[in-house]
Structure 1
Amino acid sequence: MLSNVALSVLDEHIAQGLGGPASTFNDRLKRRRRGLPNYRLIRYADDWCLVVSGTRAHAETLKEEAAGVLATMGLRLSPEKTLITHIDEGLDFLGWRIQRHRKRGTEKYYVYTYPSRKALAAVMDKVRTQYRKTGTDLPFDTLLVQLNRVLRGWCAYFRPGVSSAVFQYLSSYIWGRVIWWLRRKHPRMTWKDLRRRFCGGGWWPASGERELFSPAKVGTTRYRYRRSVIPSPWPTTG
């Protein structure tokens, strides 16, 4: 809440700026012909990204401009966290990796969004921590409840993106961790008996109450086009 209050000055500054979200389509075209930048601000609490259609020099100028606006609120940009980058080089934002790539088999380039390496490492660390702190003296269902809670939330967040390959990788990882936990719990049980008892004769772990959540089965919903589905907070010009 405090971030939203403090950074509202930046929202207002960008909203009122020439080339900002209040500019009309024709205004933006005129600015481009004159070599001037157009820009948009994406902000969630204290995480924000200024998207600039222009040169690196334009981005540098807008960065200094934003720093000046924030200074009026006693805030400053963090040198470690502030990055100016091209979309072809990509950036990490709110756990997502956002980068433009050539589409396989074509010469066309598109912007893709997928879970960042840091986000994947974080959820893998949560899984690893959970199965380590869940003692083998506890029922198998206890481990499944804890892991499913983590995995469902993570996959729901990253579902609207190019996440299928990451989901497949995560499924393989958690399968190995859970099987390792079961082998520790039942060291004398043969692999055949373990599969029969805890995988229903198949390969995917499950207890009598529930099945281990599989990220690989989560369908993705890519390329949501906002347009007017979500009302814009910016004032419109007639």
Structure 2
Amino acid sequence: MTSGGNRNPANADRGGRDGRRRVESFTVQACLTWKRSTQRTRLNQITHGWANYFRHAVAKHTFSTLDTFTWRRLTNMLMRRHRWNWTAIRKRFTTPTGTWLPVTAGGTEHRPIVAIPVTRYRWRGTTIPNPWPATDNA
């Protein structure tokens, strides 16, 4: 395990709790009066900003967990707002073959953060500065 920076798995777990808290605070009853497209846009901004911050950590599983949590909160919010049951959600957001469609409202869809690549080490090659002075051996 590497030490330092955001490569520590504990940092990704802490970020997962923070991201979960942000999504919970944004999908509470008080936010049900917002326009749906505005709400999805802001939720996408929050989750993608969080994911871009933690993408250098060991966070792929945390991204998946937060994605599932966000999707469940959105569908529960839709069920409360429109008084739908689970059957109505499934009929509205699945294709005839049974694959799930993204949750959309007013042309704005919920974008999954699992699609954000986790990059750990960037190859810098010869762009790393040399601490020693160049010697001319000519």
TM bucket normalised to smaller: 0.7 to 0.9
Match of 2:132 in 1: 237
CA RMSD of aligned residues (A): 2.8
Is 1:176 the counterpart of 2:48? The answer is no
1:194 aligns with 2:92: no
Could you tell me which runs of 5 or more consecutive residues in structure 2 were left unpaired when the two chains were aligned: 134-138
Between the aligned partners of 1:185 and 1:219, the Cα distance in structure 2 is: 34
1:212 paired residue number: 110
Q: TM-score, normalised by structure 1?
A: 0.46
Contact map agreement 1:114 1:163 (CA 8 A) in 2: no
Partner of 1:23: none
Name the CA shift for 1:190/1:157 in 2 (closer, same or farther; >3 Å). same
Runs of 4+ aligned residues of structure 1 deviating over 4 Å after TM superposition are none
Write the mapping of 1:90-105 to structure 2, written as runs, cut at 5 A.
90=3, 93=5, 96-98=6-8
Distance 1:212 1:237, change over 3 A: same
What pairs up with 1:49-88 in 2 under 5 angstroms? Answer: none
> What is the CA-CA distance between 1:134 and the residue it aligns to?
4.7
Report the 3-state secondary structure (helix = DSSP H, G, I; strand = E; otherwise coil) of the residue aligned with 2:121: coil
Q: Relative contact order, CA 8 A, sep 6+: which one is greater?
A: 2
Q: Deviations over 1:135-179 (max 9, x none)?
A: 323332222111101111112222234322111111111111111
CA distance in 1 between counterparts of 2:20 and 2:125 reads 35
Please give the residue correspondences for 1:1-238 in structure 2 after superposition, counting only pairs within 5 Å.
90=3, 93=5, 96-98=6-8, 115-132=11-28, 134-187=30-83, 189-197=84-92, 199=93, 201=95, 202-229=100-127, 231=129, 236-238=131-133
Q: For the structure 1 residues 138 and 194, does the alpha-carbon distance in structure 2 shift closer, same or farther, using more than 3 Å as the test?
A: farther
Q: How far did residue 115 of structure 1 move?
A: 4.4
**Max Rg structure:** 1
Contact 1:151 1:213 in 2 (8 A): no
CA distance in 1, matches of 2:25, 2:53: 21
Change over 3 Å in CA distance of 1:215–1:164 after alignment to 2: same
- Give the CA deviation at 1:118: 1.5
Tell me how far apart the structure 2 counterparts of residues 203 and 114 of structure 1 sit (CA, whole Å): 33
Structure 1, unpaired ranges of 5+: 1-86, 99-112
Q: TM-score, normalising length from structure 2? A: 0.73
Aligned-residue sequence identity (percent) comes to: 23
Is contact 1:161–1:220 with CA below 8 Å preserved after alignment?
Answer: yes
